[in-house]
Homo-oligomer: A and B are copies of this chain.
Amino acid sequence: MKKKIDKSKISELLFDGMSIMVGGFMCIGTPEEIIDEIVKSDVKDITIICNDAGLPGQGVGKLISNGQVKKLIASHIGLNPEAGTLMSEGKLEVTLTPQGTLIEQIRAGGSGLGGFLTSTGLGTLVEDGKKIITLNESNYLLELPIRADLAIVYGTEVDHYGNVLYTKTTRNFNPVIATATDKVLVQARHIVKEINPDYIMTPHIFVDYVIEEGK
């Protein structure tokens, strides 16, 4: 398989100040082995875009504990108290975004939209600094697309072309972030010969590198 790389090569994809989108929801569907390699590297000042702050010692939580994260864009950080502490100490910049807005911003980034209008967040702190557009007497927030340098994705099955299939609730943010970054690195639970073409959730054209879990 052409796109398969050894875990030791992951550090070559990293650089200081980069932005990384991380798949998973409360660490379910998060590529832990890729995160472990980022922890081993000395890359710093990362901006992380993820649903949440992970858990203590799990997922994005490992990068936060290790002081590698400068900024976190997420919808929820409540299950990782360390993130809250670092935030109030001014050591971690946190942008909290409604979950539906966050995933839609990433989708817009991946699908070439300049932004979208949503009612979510109207009349709340989420409005701050955003343009409000009025249509037929209804107000909407104009939300802008988000893109990043690298997406790290967890796929249950990856075929020899790099096509990915996600299962159960591990899917969550994974297929969406895979469209919105310059490079996409997938942790495959299983590498398989082929996937039924109707069931492929991330087409191979989005995938740059694949590592095989546990190898």
Instruction: Give the residues from 146 to 183 in chain A that come closer than 8 angstroms, CB to CB, to chain B.
Output: 165-168, 171
Within the oligomer, what is the number of copies of this chain?
Answer: 2
Interface stretch among A24-32, A39-47, A71-79, A109-117? A109-117
Nearest chain B CB to A197 CB, angstrom units = 8
Chain A contact residues, majority secondary structure: mixed
Which of B113, B140, B171 lies in contact with A114, CB distance below 8 A? B140
Size of interface on A: residues with Cβ below 8 Å to B: 24
Q: Which residues of B contact A114 (CB under 8 A)?
A: 116-119, 133, 135, 138, 140
Q: Are A198 and B168 in contact (CB under 8 A)?
A: yes
Which of B117, B171, B198, B199 lies in contact with A116, CB distance below 8 A? B117
Q: Which residues of B contact A140 (CB under 8 A)?
A: 114-115
Given contacts A167-B198, A198-B167, A199-B198, contact A113 B116 (CB under 8 A): yes
Indicate the member of A108, A114, A119, A135 with the most B CB atoms within 10 Å.
A114
Nearest chain B CB to A78 CB, angstrom units = 25
Q: Annotate A7-30 by CB proximity to B: 1 below 8 A, 0 otherwise.
A: 000000000000000000000000
Q: Which residues of B contact A165 (CB under 8 A)?
A: 198
Which residues does A use to contact B, with CB under 8 Å? 104, 108, 112-119, 133, 135, 138, 140, 142, 144, 165-168, 171, 197-199
